[in-house]
Each structure stands twice: as structure tokens, then as C-alpha cells.
Structure 1
Amino acid sequence: MSAISVREFSYNPSAVFARVEGGEAVRVTRHGKVIAIVLPGDGPADRYADLVASGRIRLGTATSGDDAPLPEYALPPDAPDPVELLLAERDEDAP
């Protein structure tokens, strides 16, 4: 995953979006702090986009490096969403 500053992003957002369309994830930083992550609209990360946007989960740093892909798992079409099941269990266990 590459990183660019807000200033770089503001100069040419179309170029950043072209990179994202090509499958690259881009971190946008301000003063060295990540303030946004722009992800492709399809692929493994898409499943988690709504949860990340709502703040229910956070994308962590991969242990094998920033370029490590998210894992993909084949599920039957009628299977419940495993992330929703885990979040429901977490909410049940909360004090």
C-alpha cells in the first residue's frame, strides 16, 4: 500500500483514483498521520468497507508488510456474513 500526502492528493486526485482502479490501495496522510485509505471498490476489502466506514472495525497493518493482500474465503451464497457474526458475539460479550 503506498502513501501520499493530502497536498499530493489535492493536486491530482484523478491520478490517485486511476491507481486505485488498477487495484492499488492508497493511504492519504497529513503531517505523517494516515487520515484516509482509498481502496478499490471491488475485491476482498469491499466486504468490509461499510464496517470500516461506520467505525465498527479498523484496518490493521499486515504483519508481513503493507503490501500483503487481505485473505479471501469462499463461502456459499446463503452463508451468514462471518464478520457480522463476530461483531454480534462481541456485542453480546460487552459489559
Structure 2
Amino acid sequence: MSTVSVREFSYNPSAIFARVEQGETIEVTRHGNVIALLLPGSGTLGRYSALVARGVLRLKSTTTNDLDRLPHYSVPADVSPVELLLAEREEDDR
């Protein structure tokens, strides 16, 4: 994961977005604090971008390779993903 300042981002946003399109995750900082996280919209990391955007999942030093090791679940539209995970966790406890 790379970090760029707001100033660097403002100089050439197209170049930053091009890096994200290539699969790179970029933190945008202001005064050393992360204010935005730019995530690829497709591929392995794209599966988790909605969770990151909602704050459910936080990426610190996670790389795309780390995300490849996470399980992938196919969830029907009429099933709650949370309920599915809780049911699986309950089965693991038995």
C-alpha cells in the first residue's frame, strides 16, 4: 500500500488513478492522517472495496496477496451475509 499527500494527489490525480487501476491501493493523507483510501474497483481487492468504504473492513498493511488468502463466499441475494458468517462460525464452534 502506498501513501500520497493531498498536495501530491492534487498535482496529478490521473497518475494516481492510473496506479489504482493497475491494482495498487493508495492512502491519501493530510498532515500525516489518512483521509481517503483509493482501492481498485475490480479483481481480488475489488471484492472488499465496498466493505472498506463502509468501514466494516480496515486495511493497514494488507496487500493484494494477503486478500487472496481470505475465503470467498457466494451469497444469494435473499440471504444476509452476516447470518451466513454467523452460521458458519457456530458450526466451527461445535
TM-score exceeds 0.5:
yes
The answer to which structure has the higher helix fraction is 2
In the alignment, what sits opposite 1:6? 6
The answer to whether the 8 Å contact 2:44/2:64 transfers is: no
Q: Could you report, residue by residue, the CA deviation over 1:39-60 in whole angstroms, capped at 9, with x for unpaired residues? A: 1111122112222222233224
| TM-score, normalisation: structure 2 | 0.66
Structure 2 residue aligned with 1:38: 38
CA gap of 1:42–1:30, structure 2 versus 1, over 3 A, is same
Deviation, 1:73, is 5.7
Q: Residues 4 and 29 of structure 1 are in contact (CA less than 8 Å); yes or no, is this contact kept in structure 2? A: yes
CA RMSD of aligned residues (A): 2.8
Q: Quick one: which amino acid aligns to residue 28 of structure 1?
A: V
State the TM-score, normalized to the length of structure 1.
0.66
Deviation at 1:61, TM superposition (A): 3.0
| Unmatched 5+ stretches in structure 1 | 90-95
**Which aligned segments of 4 or more residues in structure 1 are displaced greater than 3 angstroms?**
72-76, 85-89
Counterpart of 2:20 in structure 1 is 20
How many residues are aligned here? 81
Could you tell me which of 43, 68, 71 is aligned with 2:68? 71
**What is the deviation of 1:85?**
3.2
Structure 2: state its 5+ residue gaps.
87-94
